[in-house]
């Protein structure tokens, strides 16, 4: 009789071990899918950041051309004020800083996504210590920040256009239309 109990206990332990391994494999597959999903969301954000960077560079170049024209004695529109130009340049510099921060956040999200996809460790919960929840939250914050930068970029274009209406035509010609 003790041998049959021992055999039953061994069989039960083998079943539990198989169940835990199945759960671990399932969790790894979920982590891989989530990492792929995050990477798919990061790629368009990177492209969008590149467009914003290009737009900022074009606006900066347009402001430099405008400033150069006013220094050479060319007539400037009556609404042009050096103080406003300085404010626009400061705003563009701030956008560049924010874009750099966004690029860093994208790199961090990619790193976390690759860590999630290559994680080998035990079970993963869905509580406050869950790295995927933190990454998803950061992705939402990043998307909101990109939208805010787009809105401010449009405002800066409008202000710069007040100085020289051909600036918007120039930036449109360069492919820097609003996103």
Asked if the model's pLDDT at residue 18 lies above 70, the reply is yes
Write down the pLDDT at residue 83.
75
Write down the pLDDT at residue 123.
44
Residue 36 lies in a domain: yes
Residue 23 lies in a domain: no
Residue 123 lies in a domain: yes
CA distances to 38, 116, 133 from 111, rounded to whole Å, are 10, 9, 15
Give the rounded percent of residues in the chain with a pLDDT score beyond 90.
Answer: 7
pLDDT tens digits, one per residue of 99-122: 888 888 887 777 777 776 665 444
Among residues 131, 132, 141, which one has the least CA distance to residue 102? Answer: 141
Residue 89 lies in a domain: yes
- The more confidently predicted of residues 166 and 122 is 166
CA triplet 137, 149, 58: central angle to 5 degrees? Answer: 140
Residue 5 lies in a domain: no
pLDDT tens digits, one per residue of 1-10: 578 888 888 8
Tell me how far apart the alpha carbons of residues 71 and 125 are, in angstroms, rounded to a whole number: 63
Write down the pLDDT at residue 4.
86
Domain count along the chain: 1
Residue 2 lies in a domain: no
Residue 94 lies in a domain: yes
pLDDT tens digits, one per residue of 39-89: 888 888 888 888 888 888 888 888 888 777 767 665 555 455 677 777 777
Give the rounded percent of residues in the chain with a pLDDT score beyond 70.
Answer: 70
Residue 54 lies in a domain: yes
Structure pTM? Answer: 0.37
Is residue 163 within 8 Å of 157, Cβ to Cβ? no
Residue 82 is part of which domain span?
32-173
Among residues 154, 171, 148, 151, which one has the least CA distance to residue 63? Answer: 171
- Residue 35 DSSP label: H
């Amino acid at each position: 009789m003790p041998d049959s109990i021992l055999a039953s206990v061994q069989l039960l332990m083998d079943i539990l071990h198989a169940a835990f391994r199945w759960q671990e494999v399932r969790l790894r597959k979920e982590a891989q899918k989530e990492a792929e999903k995050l990477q798919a969301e990061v790629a368009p954000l990177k492209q969008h950041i590149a467009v914003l960077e290009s737009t900022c560079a074009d606006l900066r170049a347009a402001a430099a051309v405008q400033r150069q024209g006013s220094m050479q004695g060319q007539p400037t529109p009556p609404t042009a004020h050096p103080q406003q130009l300085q404010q626009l340049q400061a705003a563009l510099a701030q956008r560049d800083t924010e874009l750099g921060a966004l690029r860093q956040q994208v790199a961090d999200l990619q790193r976390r996504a690759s860590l999630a996809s290559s994680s080998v460790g035990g079970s993963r919960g869905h509580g406050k210590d869950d790295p995927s929840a933190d990454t998803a939250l950061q992705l939402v914050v990043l998307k909101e920040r990109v939208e805010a930068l787009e809105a401010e970029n449009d405002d800066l274009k409008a202000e710069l256009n007040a100085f020289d209406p051909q600036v918007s035509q120039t930036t449109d010609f360069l492919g820097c239309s609003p996103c």
